[in-house]
Amino acid sequence: MVNFVLRRLVLAALVSLTVLTLAFTLTRLSGDLAISIAGPSATQEDIELVRRSYGLDRPLLEQFFAWVSRAAVGDFGESFFFRARVSDLILERMPVTLTLGLVGLSIALVVSIPMGILAAVRENTWVDRVVQLIAMLGQAMPGFWIGLIMMIFFGLQLGWLPVSGTGSWEHYVMPGAVLAFSAIPALTRLTRSGMIQALGSDYIRTARAKGLSRFSILFKHALRNAALPVVSIASVQLGFMLGGSIVIESVFALHGVGFLAWESITKNDFPVVQAVVLVLAVIYVGLTLAADMLNALLDPRLRG
């Protein structure tokens, strides 16, 4: 188990370093940052002053290692637009994004697991086909379009839910449901295939021969084994939700990390963009690592 953990930690560190390097490189490839910061009406002297003030006149490799050394201790510099520490901005906005992601994942699990079980129990029937059709439609529809439709119908016409803001739990229902749409297809299909495989195994036949109830066979024995891959996919989907929250937060005006990233991109605030990309990537890597550890605890065969 120790070797398994060490291998996963090394892999996680390498992935994080790769993302850090890409985040730094892509912001530099977007153009001359000094010109973007100084503005279109700045003179050449103003641009050179900005370049010296922010250390943009130093070699790229020196800038990179300086940023890595600061980022390693949580210092992402200061925002050009907000005039505040980037780490403070992210900490202030992160609760909104985490709440949105957890609400979306909860909705996805509550919907997809029963659908997957139902499709497996009614394999190759009209019920199975309907479930797969719903999953396919959920994957095909873009999130921003679903969000706009829900805002018009549930927010404006029916008045059931607020269309923007973060004042109460009701503000997270619609954006959470939109995020869930992206995860439901994968979780449903995985639950269905895992349940079909489990229900056809020898230990389920033995359980039926012993006269165990249908409920006990489905939820105590079959689902327990079918849930192993669902754990991994659920953690990955949560990472996708956090990373993809920039669109949903912009549509519903939720001032989380995703909305902060969108604001920073429009304002050429590259310290914030770099930090947001890195933080979300590290969270994603951490979730994947946690899922690997949990799967290894549940299934000792994965530790080899």
- 85: β partners: 78
Q: Which helix (H) or strand (E) holds 3?
A: helix 2-29
- 78: β partners: 85
Placement of tokens 């370093």 in the chain: 17
Domain count, the chain: 1
The neighbour count for residue 154, using CB atoms within 10 Å, is 17
Q: What phi and psi values does residue 70 have, to the nearest 5 degrees?
A: -75, -40
For position 129, which CATH number holds? Answer: 1.10.3720.10
Sign of CA dihedral 30, 33, 39, 45: negative
Does any domain span residue 304?
A: no
Does any domain span residue 44?
A: no
Placement of tokens 């370049």 in the chain: 51
Does any domain span residue 283?
A: no
The neighbour count for residue 47, using CB atoms within 10 Å, is 18
Report how far apart, in Å, the C-alpha atoms of 100 and of each of 1, 201, 229, 245 are: 34, 38, 23, 8
Residue-number span of the structural domain to which 155 is assigned: 94-268
Does pTM top 0.85 for this prediction? no
Distance separating alpha carbons of residues 96 and 261, to the nearest angstrom: 13
Q: What are the pLDDT digits (tens) for 125-144?
A: 888 888 888 877 777 777 77
Q: What are the pLDDT digits (tens) for 161-216?
A: 777 767 777 788 888 888 888 788 888 888 888 888 877 777 777 777 777 777 77
